[in-house]
Amino acid sequence: MPDDDLARLRREYAARARRLANHDRYSLFDRAHLFAIQQRGRSVLAALRQAGFHPLSGKRILEVGCGSGGVLLEYLSYGASPAALHGVDLLPNRLHTARLRLPHLPLACADGQSLPYSPGSFDLVLQYTAFSSILDPAVKTNLAREMLRVLRPRGLILWYDFWLNPTNPQTRGIRPAEIRQLFPGCRYRFRRITLAPPLARRILPLSWTLAMVLEKAKLFNTHYLVTIRRR
Ligand SMILES: C[S@@+](CC[C@H](N)C(=O)[O-])C[C@H]1O[C@@H](n2cnc3c(N)ncnc32)[C@H](O)[C@@H]1O
C-alpha cells in the first residue's frame, strides 16, 4: 500500500479510537449497535444457509481487514473452527487487540494486496467494511484480486459494506456496479440490509418492532450483504 495511504489509515483509526474512547457506540450495550449486529447476523446466517455453506465447522475461513476481531468472534459463535478461522489486517495495533481477544486464532499482519496464503486455500473469504475504508481504487482492485486468488474454485466470498455514508470523508460507499467490476466473472446475490444507524438510534427507544419493519422495507438501509461466487 502506498505510504501516504497507509499513514492516512493509521491517522484515521487513531482519531476514531480517540473519538470513541468515552462512549459505548460500538458496544452491544448500545441499542442501535445491538440491533445492527443482531439483524446482520440473521442476514449472514440466512445467506450462508441459502448458499449451502453450513455447518461452518472445518471450513477454512479468512477475513480480510479483520481489525480488532469483532467479526471473527461472531464467526466463532456461528460454529467456525478456531484453527481454521484466519484474519489479516494491515494495522499492527488493531491486530494486537484481536490477538488479545482471540489468542488461539491464526492472525497475520499483512497488506491484503499481497495475502500470505497459497492460491485456493479458503472455502470462505470475508470482507466487512474494509473496502469502504480504502480511498485508492487501485488498492481495492488488488485486494479483490487477492481475495479471488486465495478462494477455492467452488468457494464463497461474503461482502458486507455500506453504499452510503455521507458523514465521513475518510470512507467511500461502494455500490453494486463497483462490486461487479471488482469481482469480474462472478455470480452475485445482493441484499440491502442495516437500517441507517442515525435513524435506528431514534426509533429503537420507541419501538424495536418498528425498527425491524423499517429495515425489512429496505428504503433506509445503508449496507449491502453480497454473496459472490465464480461462474
Ligand atoms: C472499518 S475496519 C473493519 C474491521 C472489521 N472487519 C469489522 O467489521 O469489525 C476496516 C479494517 O480494514 C483494514 N484494512 C484497510 N486496508 C487494508 C489492507 N490493504 N490490507 C489489510 N487490511 C486493511 C483496516 O486496518 C481496518 O482494520
The CATH number linked to 155 is: 3.40.50.150
| Cα of 35 from ligand 1 centre, angstroms | 22
pLDDT value of residue 124: 98
For ligand 1, say whether the CB of 170 is within 6 Å of any of its atoms.
no
Q: Which amino acid is at 137?
A: P
Domain of 190, in residue numbers: 3-10+25-230
Cell numbers placing 217: 422495507
Please state, as a whole number, how many other Cβ atoms lie within 10 Å of the Cβ of residue 185.
Answer: 8
| Coil/strand/helix, residue 122 | strand
- 69 assigned to some structural domain: yes
Report the number of distinct structural domains present in the chain. Answer: 1
For ligand 1, say whether the CB of 95 is within 6 Å of any of its atoms.
no
pLDDT value of residue 15: 77
Pocket test for ligand 1, best of 86, 89, 117 (most atoms within 8 A of CB): 89
pLDDT value of residue 8: 78
Nearest to 99 by CA among 69, 128, 129, 73: 69
For ligand 1, say whether the CB of 129 is within 6 Å of any of its atoms.
yes
Sequence-distant (6+) residues with CB within 8 A of 95 are: 66, 68, 87, 89, 107, 108, 109
pLDDT value of residue 107: 98
- 15 assigned to some structural domain: no
pLDDT value of residue 170: 87
- 20 assigned to some structural domain: no
- 160 assigned to some structural domain: yes
- 19 assigned to some structural domain: no
- 89 assigned to some structural domain: yes
Evaluate if residue 20 carries a pLDDT over 70: no
| Coil/strand/helix, residue 179 | helix
For ligand 1, say whether the CB of 36 is within 6 Å of any of its atoms.
no
Residue with the larger pLDDT of the pair 104 and 6:
104
pLDDT-derived band at 165 (thresholds 50, 70, 90) equals confident
Determine whether 220 is exposed, middle or buried from the number of CB atoms within 10 Å of its CB (0-12, 13-18, 19+): middle
For ligand 1, say whether the CB of 194 is within 6 Å of any of its atoms.
no
- 101 assigned to some structural domain: yes
Q: What integer is the mean pLDDT of 188-195?
A: 98
Evaluate if residue 182 carries a pLDDT over 90: yes
- 98 assigned to some structural domain: yes
Distance CA 21, CA 6 (A): 22
Evaluate if residue 121 carries a pLDDT over 90: yes
Write the CA distances from 47 to 29, 80, 107, 227, integer angstroms.
26, 16, 25, 7
For ligand 1, say whether the CB of 155 is within 6 Å of any of its atoms.
no
